[in-house]
Amino acid sequence: METSPRSAGFSPARLDRITAHLERHYIEPGKIAGCQLLVARHGIPAYFRSFGFMDRERRRPMRDDTIFRIYSMTKPITSVALMQLFEEARFMLNDPVARYLPSWEHQRVWVSGDGDEMETKAPNRPVSFRHVLSHTAGLTYGATNHPVDKAYRRLGIQRGPGETLDTFVEKLGRAPLRYEPGERWMYSFATDVCGALVERISGRRLDAYFRERIFEPLGMTDTAFFVPPEKQERFAANYQRQPDKTLKLIDDPETSSYLREPSFLSGGGGLVGTTRDYLRFCEMLRRGGELDGARIISSRTLELMTRSHLPGGQDLTSLAIGAFSETANEGVGFGLGFAVTLDAARAGTLGEGDYYWGGAASTIFWVDPREDLVCIFMTQLMPSGTFNFRGQLKNLIYSAID
């Protein structure tokens, strides 16, 4: 990919400090096997570089067209898909999702107790489309020892082999809600529910809907729910940082489950793709919902999505339950599928007004409307909170703007 930092309004020398930073602090000491970074401004690529290995065990260098597990960077794509149906007047944001998910008609909210001793109550309001789009629905990820999460495990709520979106949402509708819908924020299965709603409302499988309404119009040719055989040689390995700070291979690209079509199409975290493909998606966002003549979503709808929908103008510090997320809480709000930097001073970061998310393997992106900027960082390291890539890259990138 040809880059032109001066045309994009960057100091080439300052922008190139990124290279030294990533090589010195991450690649050379082996903290990550490899990575890739793209920075574009005004639609002009200013920086694009691949580092290290995509597969350390086989000594395969990181390729410019490497395919990554993007995990929760699937969520903004799913949210855009659901909001396309909002634009068709198929639902209103405050409509109950039980309109399309009948098993959610009689949900209860956890009050106290565990197991057979659990006390629940009827919710003050039903779970709405706004709630599932903004992670304020009362759902969780079922990963702790809280009584609600134990109920998830008893009901077999999971996204693994053999599960489908239909069986998943039916089970989830029988689980108690962790809190009153709309009153708190918790990172959760909510965007998988959004994917199920896309299927129910459109009558199309989620993969087909994505392909027809988003991927093909944008030319995202390498983004899918699995890696086909002809692309396997471009698929990166995935690693986990061990307590002794070494890397352990946890998903071999030669034997990965991503080489087979899954039964569960996870709108919350199931996609793989390339940096180039995700740039196409981000450029569509930066340009207000359109790219190269393909209108994916209206600018007005996108503006609504990238405003914080947390009640009372509060940030996540006041409302978030649990520490598991792809964002810090201070000075950060949440819209319909994106985190939003509300206050740069409180957040302690640059880029106020940007919107963003990340993935479990430490992938990140952000779009900054004020600076007309897109940044995409790809690597394959779990867990995602191991290093503050977002904060470090923001310092390096914003300080290079001339």
Digit-coded pLDDT (tens) for 290-301: 999 999 999 999
SS (H, E, C) 204-253: CCHHHHHHHHHHHHHCCCCCECCCCHHHHHHECCEEEECCCCCEEEEECC
For position 323, what pLDDT does the model report?
75
CA dist., res. 168 & res. 135, Å (int): 17
The confidence band for 179, taking pLDDT boundaries of 50, 70 and 90, is very high
* CATH architecture for segment(s) 80-202: 3-Layer(aba) Sandwich (3.40)
Strand partners for 401: 10
103 DSSP 8-state letter: G
Quick check: 75 pLDDT over 90?
A: yes
Average pLDDT, the chain: 97
* CA 188 from centre of chain: 12
Both tokens of 89, joined, read 């007047």
- Tell me the backbone φ, ψ of residue 205, rounded to 5 degrees: -60, 150
What percent of the chain is predicted at pLDDT more than 90?
Answer: 97
- Judge contact between 262 and 225, C-beta under 8 A: yes
For position 69, what pLDDT does the model report?
98
Q: Which amino acid is at 375?
A: C
Q: Average pLDDT for residues 169-178, to the nearest whole number?
A: 97
| Residue 45: CB atoms within 10 Å | 18
Q: Average pLDDT for residues 160-168, to the nearest whole number?
A: 94
Question: Where does 291-339 have alpha helices with state H?
Answer: 299-305, 316-319
The CATH superfamily label for domain 12-74+220-398 reads DD-peptidase/beta-lactamase superfamily (3.40.710.10)
Contacts of 318 (CB under 8 A, 6+ apart): none
In the block, tokens 């922008």 appear at 15
Q: Do domains 12-74+220-398 and 80-202 have the same CATH topology?
A: yes
- Domain map (residue ranges) of the chain: 12-74+220-398, 80-202
For position 253, what pLDDT does the model report?
98
- Judge contact between 171 and 151, C-beta under 8 A: no
Q: Which of 41, 31, 82, 366 is nearest to 204 (CA)?
A: 82
3-state secondary structure of 366: strand
Whole-prediction pTM value? 0.97
Q: Average pLDDT for residues 27-52, to the nearest whole number?
A: 98
For position 327, what pLDDT does the model report?
82
For position 5, what pLDDT does the model report?
98
Of 28-42, 265-279, 325-339, the range with the lowest mean pLDDT is 325-339
- Judge contact between 297 and 80, C-beta under 8 A: yes
Quick check: 22 pLDDT over 80?
A: yes
What percent of the chain is predicted at pLDDT more than 70?
Answer: 100
23 DSSP 8-state letter: I
